[in-house]
Amino acid sequence: MTDDSRAEAPPVEPAAAERPPLKLLDRERSLLQFNRRVLAQARRADVPLLERLRYVTIVSSNLDEFFEVRVADYIEAARQPGTGVSNADLAAVAAAAHELIDEQYALFNEVVMPALQAEGIVVLNHAERNAAQRRWVERFFETQVRPLLVPVSLDPSHPFPLVANKSLNFIARLGGRDAFGRANQIAIVKVPRVLPRVIRLPDELCDGRQGFVLLTSVMRAHLGELFPGRTVESFSQFRVTRDSDLEVDEDDMTNLRQALRTGLTTRHFGQAIRLEVVSTCPSELSRFLLQQFSLPEVALYKVNGPVNLVRLNELIDQADAEHLRFPAYEPRWPELRLPRERSIFARLRETDVLLHHPFESFEPVIQFLREAVQDPDVLAIKQTIYRTGSESVLMDLLIEATRRGKEVMVVVELKARFDEEANINWAERLEAVGAQVVYGIVGLKTHAKLLLVTRREGRRSGDGRRAALPRLRRYAHLSTGNYNPRTARLYTDMGYLTADPGLCADADAVFLQLASQARLKPPQHLLTAPFVLQKRLLRHIAQVADAARAGRPARIVVKVNALTDPALIQALVQAGEAGARIDLVVRGACMLPPGVPGRTDNIRVRSIVGRFLEHSRVLYFRWGEGVDDEVLYLSSADWMSRNMIRRIEVAWPIRDPALRQRVIDEGLVPYLHDARDAWELDAEGRYRRVGESGPSAQQALLQRYSS
C-alpha cells in the first residue's frame, strides 16, 4: 500500500525505544471531542436541514450513554486510590461537558430551529399559538394527556417519588393550601412515556406551514389545571441520568440469564449522575432536586430549551420535506459476485465474497442464512449474537432452522450493554424450540461476529443416490459489525463470506471453545482475543519498527472506532520513533497524541464523521518489499484494553490479492485523502476539520456503488 500524501520521515534518534512512556490523552475528554465533531455536522450548510437536527439529537443520545456509563465509572475511579483519576480530572470532564451542552443548545436555538422555521416547519410554544391552535391543544390535553397524569404533592406520606433513569418530569412550587388545609408546596408530575413528545397540529390550523407542539409545552400550558384551588408559583422540567451499567457478580451466581433478568428490574434506579433542568428553573427548585438525588452543584445542567432533545427525532420523522433529508439510497446487491439466481453455497465454493455495508446490501447475509435453513443438506448452523434488535429476521430464521431439525447453536451475549433485555428474550425463544444456547465465557463478552454453516456434500451415484460417505463442508460469514439489518444501513462495516477450509475450521474451534471452555490449539488463521490478538498486533508493529530501523519500507494504517489500549499505543509510538509511517483513522476516543516533537512526528490521527457511522475495523502492516512482508486484517475488535483482554474477538486475514486490494481501495485509501468529513488530531487533543469542499470518502463510495 502506498500513499504519497506525506513527506519523508525525519531522522530517528537511536535511543527512541528507551524513552519513557508518552503521556496519553484523556479518554473521557476525547469522547466529548468526538461529540463536538458530531455536533459540527449540524453547522454544515451542505448537510440537509432535518439531518442537521438529527445530528443535534445524536449528540444528546451519545451524552446520555456517556453519563450513564463513562462518567459513572469515572466517579467511581475518582473515589478509589491508585486509579490515577482525581477529583480535578472529574471537574475538568464536567466542565467540558457543560461547555459542549451549552454549544449544542445555542446551535439548536440560534441556527437549526430558525432555519427550519424559514422552511415552514415550526415548533410553537403557548405564546406563539393562535386561538384556534390553543383550542386544539386544550382538547388534546383533556382527552389524551390529562387522563394519564398523576400529580404528587409531597408530604410525609407522599415522599419524593422514585424517578426512573432519563424519565421526564415536572417539579412545581405551589401557593395556597391543599384540600386538607395543608401548605405542602412541592409537587411532581411525571411526563408519560407512552405519549409522543412531538405532536403535529392539523394542517388546516397552520396557514400552509407544518406546525408542531411539544408534549411538555402542552403540559406546561395546563399545569395549573392539575392543582385546582392552588397557584403554580414556579416550575421546571427535570430529568435525571443514572448509572446504568448492569453489574452482576459472575463468580456468585448459577444462572447468568436469570441474574441479568433480575438486574434489569433495578437498572433504571441506579446512582444519580446528572440532573437536567430548564434554564429558567428557580434556584430553590434546582437545589431541592440536587438534594433529593444527592448530587453536587457541578452535576446540574441547565439547558436553554427542551430537556431531552433525543425525542425531537419524532419531528424529523413526521415532517413532510424530503428535500431536507439525505437523498434516498438503496444498498446494492452485488450481482456480479453473487448472482441472485445461483446458490450462495455454490458461489462460495468458487471464491470468497466481500461485502461493504451500507453501500452494498446486507440482504446477501440474510439470504445466506435463509438458504442454509431451507437446504435439507445443511446439518448445523452456529452464530454469535451481540446486538440484533428486538425484531430480527435472522433470529426468526434460526428458530425456523431448529424447528426443521437442524443442529442450531447460538452464542448470545447477554451483557451487550442496553441490549440485554432483547438478547435475553431471544435466548429464551431459541431455547423454547430446542436450539442450543450458550452465553459465552464468564467474565468475557462475546463480541466476535461469526456465522458458520455445516453442509453435507458428496458425489451422487449414477442412480442419483448420494455416495456412501459424503463429505462435510463448512461455510462462514465473518463481520466487523453486528447482525442487525437496520444498523447495516447506517454503519459502515465489512462482511466476509467464505468456504475457506482453514478459516471455517478456526471459526468452528471458536464455537467449540465458547461451548466447552476446553483448552484448544490456537487457531491457525483467525486471531482471537483474549489469547493471541493483542500479541500478534504487537508483533506486527514490532516488525514494522524493525523494518524502519533497517531502512526498509515500514507502514501501518489502522482504521478503528477507538484507540485507548496503552500497550498498543506505546508500541505505535515506538514504531513511529523508529521511522515507520503510521496513519490512524479513529472515529471516536483516541488517547495517542500525534505530532509530539521527537516522539510522534510520524503518526497522523484523523477522524471521519459523515452521513454514516464509521464502524469497520481494518488493519494494515508492511515491513518490507516482498509479497510476504505485508498483512491486512478485518476485525471485530477496537484497540481498547477491554477488547484485547476482556472480550472474545476475532480478526481474520484477507489473503486473496483482489479482495485485499479492494479493502485497501475502499476501506483505507479514501479515508486518508478525505478532505470534507475528516478531522485531524493535534498533540494537545484538539481536532481541526481538514476541509469543506474536498473529496469525501463516504460520498465517493456512494457514487461508486450507485453507478
Among 491, 507, 522, residue at a domain's last position: 522
Instruction: Please say whether the beta carbons of 455 and 377 come within 8 A.
Output: yes
Residue position matching grid coordinates 419524593: 160
369 and 283, same domain (yes or no): no
d(CA 297, CA 285): 13
In a domain, 5, yes or no: no
Same domain, 315 and 372: no
Residues with Cβ within 8 Å of residue 218, at least 6 apart in sequence: 137, 140, 141, 145, 199
Asked whether residue 237 falls in the same domain as residue 357, the answer is no
Q: Are 312 and 326 in contact (CB under 8 A)?
A: no
My answer on whether 514 and 581 are in the same domain is no
pTM: 0.92
Task: Report the C-alpha gap between 144 and 56 in whole angstroms.
Answer: 29
Does 449 lie in the same domain as 313? Answer: no
Active site residue 447: yes
Quick one: 311 and 362 in the same domain? no
pLDDT digits (tens, 9 = 90+) for 621-678: 999 999 899 999 999 999 999 999 999 999 999 999 999 999 999 999 999 999 999 9
* Domain assignment present for 102: yes
Instruction: Let me know: does 316 contact 324? Beta carbons within 8 Å.
Output: no
- Those residues of the chain that have pLDDT short of 70 are 2-18, 181, 246-267, 416-418, 459-468
Radius of gyration of the chain (CA): 28
Percentage of the chain lying above the pLDDT 90 cut: 78
Cell of 417: 450493554
Residue 279 falls inside a structural domain: yes
Q: For residue 253, what pLDDT is reported?
A: 46
13 in a domain, yes or no? no
Is 98 inside any structural domain?
A: yes
Question: In the numeric block, which cell numbers belong to residue 572?
Answer: 505505535
553 and 597 both lie in a single domain: yes
Segments of 441-586 assigned E as strands = 445-446, 450-457, 471-479, 491-498, 527-529, 555-560, 581-586
Q: Is residue 8 part of a domain?
A: no
Cell, residue 532: 493471541
Domain end call among 522, 544, 576:
522
Please report, in angstroms and rounded to a whole number, the separation of the first and last CA atoms in the chain: 26
Do 284 and 179 share a structural domain? yes
The reply to whether 205 falls in a domain is yes
Task: Indicate the residue among 324, 353, 379 that finishes a domain.
Answer: 324
358 and 387 both lie in a single domain: yes
pLDDT digits 0-9 by tens, 243-301: 977 665 555 445 666 666 666 566 678 899 999 999 999 999 999 999 999 999 999 99
Say whether 670 sits in a helix, a strand or coil.
Answer: helix
Q: What per-residue confidence (pLDDT) applies to 6?
A: 46
pLDDT of the residue at 10: 44
pLDDT digits (tens, 9 = 90+) for 416-436: 666 778 888 888 999 999 999
Task: Write down the pLDDT at residue 14.
Answer: 46
Residue 4 is predicted with a pLDDT of 47
**Which amino acid appears at position 580 of this protein?**
A
pLDDT for the residue numbered 79: 77
Query: Which listed residue (447, 477, 540, 615) is catalytic?
Result: 447
Residue 567, classed as helix, strand or coil, is: helix
- pLDDT for 9 equals 45
Structural domain span for residue 454: 344-522
Q: Which amino acid is at 624?
A: G
* Total tally of structural domains belonging to the chain: 3
Q: pLDDT tens digits for 89-101? A: 888 999 999 999 9
CATH code: domain of residue 59? 3.30.1840.10
**518 shares a domain with 380:** yes
CATH of the domain at 573: 3.30.870.10
**Whether residues 149 and 294 fall in one domain:** yes
Residue 101 placed within a domain? yes
Query: Helix (H, G, I), strand (E, B), or coil: what is residue 619?
Result: strand
CA separation for the pair 417, 414 (Å, rounded): 8
Are 31 and 55 within one domain?
yes
